[in-house]
Amino acid sequence: MFMENKFIKIGGIAGLLILVSVTLYYIFVFLPDQRLYERQLKCADAGAKYSKGLESKSDILVMKYIYSPQLKTCIIRYDTFFKDSLLRGGASSIIRDVYTGSELYIKSRDEELFNQKEKELFGTNFRSI
């Protein structure tokens, strides 16, 4: 009888530890990954809509967009030749916040800084959404 109670207590403690471990995994691993995935999907939709708007105003040469956990926003990087702007006759590389439309970096202003920021934000093994 004494041994049975001891095994029941050990089993109860082990079960409780498993339950706590699963709960902590769900809270600290699964949910953040799920939120990041949802943000990436939202960024893919927003990036596609934003790029369609850009295409009507300019000739887009290269385009990629990604959700940036570092900036907590969706960013787009593109090379463009503007049809109606002061940059007529030249191409420019731009990294822009898709949600606010604000320019984060422009290559024509500081090429070295632009290339550094592009590597930081998009990574070297970048894959488009």
Q: How confident is the model over 39-80, as pLDDT tens digits? A: 888 998 998 888 777 776 667 766 788 888 888 899 988 887
User: Number of structural domains, the chain?
Assistant: 1
Residue 26 forms part of a structural domain: yes
Residue 128 forms part of a structural domain: no
Residue 49 forms part of a structural domain: yes
Give DSSP secondary structure letters for 18-83: HHHHHHHHIIIIIHHHHHHHHHHHHHHHHHHHHHHHHHHHEEEEEEEEEEETTTTEEEEEEEEEES
Q: How confident is the model over 98-122, as pLDDT tens digits? A: 999 888 888 766 678 888 888 888 7
pLDDT tier at 128, thresholds 50, 70, 90: very low
